Structure 1
Amino acid sequence: MAVTTDEFRAALAAFRADATHGVLDTGRYRMRYFTWGSGGPPVVFVHGMSDGARAFVPVMHRLLPHFSCVAYELPDGLTDGSRLARYTHEGYAADLVALLDHLKVPKAAVVGSSFGSTVMFASLAAFPDRFTHAVSQNGFAYRPLTRWQRQLARSARFWPGWFADWPEIHRSVMWRVDRHMLAALPPEVERFYLATSARTPMRASALRSLAIGRVDLRPVLPTIRVPVLLLTGDHDALVPPVCAETLLRLLPDARRIEFAGCGHHPQYSHPGPMAAAIAAFLHAT
């Protein structure tokens, strides 16, 4: 159920016209963020390993005006003063709460995408009073790297520049990762997806990969008391089903929706169903 070109254009035009952008110094990095809408409870979006805050624009557009949306860029170690090689999930969680403090938001719902879900779960465990609901989009609490993934990430720590510097290689890799999704997207939406992920420094992607290999949040899952919605895709080639099964087993209050014909990035391919699922979950609990 891919987004149409007209729907995508309308969402992007509204975002460009109405979103407010800012920069917050968290003490660990200069965080770029945006807010969009003021019509309801706040929902904060945390992007994935090789993605960006604007990835959620098509989803946010459908949540307005019933919710106020916030998204921010994770530290990249290149443009924002962060020491990414030293980052821990405690730091990621503290950054998220620093943004809530800056925006004077006492409590919010949070949506974490893939790697962003680990930031979300760490935040829910460390700051239980700051969140009302949580949505994990193709997320996980534990996903060890294979030997070759670890070796590649260790080498890529020293690669300069962005994915955008290697457009053909970048497009080839993204098609390998999520061919099912990209084949269904209108060309304009495909370009948006590739352009958004291309803004990731290669070193940042490598260091985030290594962070995934180090983290194991399974012990803290039983302490998380807010309701959690798990959104998964039946064609996700990056996060195996066992990850969602682990979350369902260990979280005290979790439910799951799986999108048919969906890969790892429903924010691009299934923004309507994703927004509808989030809205129904937030209204019902």
Structure 2
Amino acid sequence: MAGVTAHRAVLGGGRPDLPYARTGRSGDGPPLVLVHGYADSWWAFEPVLRALPAAVRAYAPTQRGHGDADAPEEGYLPEDFADDLVALLDHLGIERAVLVGGSSGGVPARLVAGRRPDRVAGLVLLGTPALLADKPAATALWETVRTLEDPVDRAFVEGFVRGPLAGRVAPGHLETLVEESMKLPARVWRETLRGLLETDLAATLTGILVPTLVVWGDRDPLLTRADQQLILDAVPDSRLLVHEGAGHLLYGEDPERVARELTAFAAAPRG
């Protein structure tokens, strides 16, 4: 089990400063870089980071507008988050990484994998949608989010965080997730979801040639097996792992298993 330390990346060049967590020792192999989803922060991965072996080096940034990251007035398209991710790799001196996207955090991760394969050794998608605009739950969420005003209603945030769960999440961690989501201004809730809904997510699956692991909980109320199959069909070197009984936040519901799977994937030989 590894210790987790918190840092802040000053990216410069007009980019926002991003907090990030780090764990593990420096080594020769590519590190894990864990990318959280909509309205989360690096804390979404805290249980996984703590469950990783000390020999596994991992980083988990907080994306722009989320948590304690800088929140510029604009720049909340998936492409903006992907560009920040490459800038963070540069800042940290990481030539190649295994990118791990949780939920919608898999969208910028797969954009980087498809456009900058020289920087990506592998890709893991944890409960990441293939498509989003086709899902009634997403369009229903937009009807609420588009009318949000500051301060964002806590009852809405608690429902957003707890709704997709199927298994048990440690109560303290669940409360942390709510508190982190409460930090988002209404405009970040709005513009980030708008970007996800208006982007052609099918196009973000093209050109991914790196080894890819798709992980899905079979009690996920948002994502079906058919949705995950679209990712498998689009990405040549991909395979599926199913967490039986897990919901959308499978890395919060079973962090030890996810840590084992990430460790094994990162250690697999690369072509």
Query: Under a length normalisation based on structure 2, what TM-score does the superposition of the two structures give?
Result: 0.86
Residue pair 2:76, 2:192 contacting (<8 A) in 1 also: no
What is residue 11 of structure 2 aligned with on the other side? 25
How far 1:231 sits from its partner (Å)? 0.8
How far 1:81 sits from its partner (Å)? 4.5
Percent same amino acid at aligned positions?
A: 27
Question: 1:170-189 alignment to 2 at 5 Å?
Answer: 170-178=157-165, 180-181=166-167, 184-189=168-173
Taking only aligned residues, the RMSD between alpha carbons, in angstroms, comes to 2.4
Aligned to 1:203, which of 187, 201, 204? 187
Equivalents in 1 of 2:71, 2:188: separation in Å? 13
Query: Under a length normalisation based on structure 1, what TM-score does the superposition of the two structures give?
Result: 0.83
Equivalents in 2 of 1:61, 1:79: separation in Å? 22
Residue pair 2:16, 2:64 contacting (<8 A) in 1 also: yes
- Report the structure, 1 or 2, having the larger helix content: 1
How far 1:115 sits from its partner (Å)? 1.2
What is residue 111 of structure 1 aligned with on the other side? 100
Residue pair 1:121, 1:141 contacting (<8 A) in 2 also: no
Deviates more, 1:87-96 or 1:166-175: 166-175
CA 1:175–1:34: 2 relative to 1, 3 Å: closer
Residue pair 2:43, 2:176 contacting (<8 A) in 1 also: no
Tell me the alpha carbon deviations over residues 76-134 of structure 1, each in whole angstroms, 9 at most, x when there is no partner: 189614233x4333222211111111111111111001110001111112211001011
> Is residue 57 of structure 1 aligned with residue 46 of structure 2?
yes
Question: 1:85-234 alignment to 2 at 5 Å?
Answer: 86-144=75-133, 146=136, 147-156=139-148, 159-162=149-152, 166-178=153-165, 180-181=166-167, 184-234=168-218
Segments of structure 1 that go 5 or more residues without pairing to the other structure are: 1-9
CA 1:39–1:239: 2 relative to 1, 3 Å: same
Equivalents in 2 of 1:120, 1:106: separation in Å? 15
CA 1:148–1:254: 2 relative to 1, 3 Å: same
Equivalents in 2 of 1:171, 1:140: separation in Å? 22
One-letter amino acid of the counterpart of residue 227, structure 2: C
One-letter amino acid of the counterpart of residue 283, structure 1: A
Deviates more, 1:68-77 or 1:140-149: 140-149
How many residues end up aligned between the 2 structures? 262
What is residue 269 of structure 1 aligned with on the other side? 253
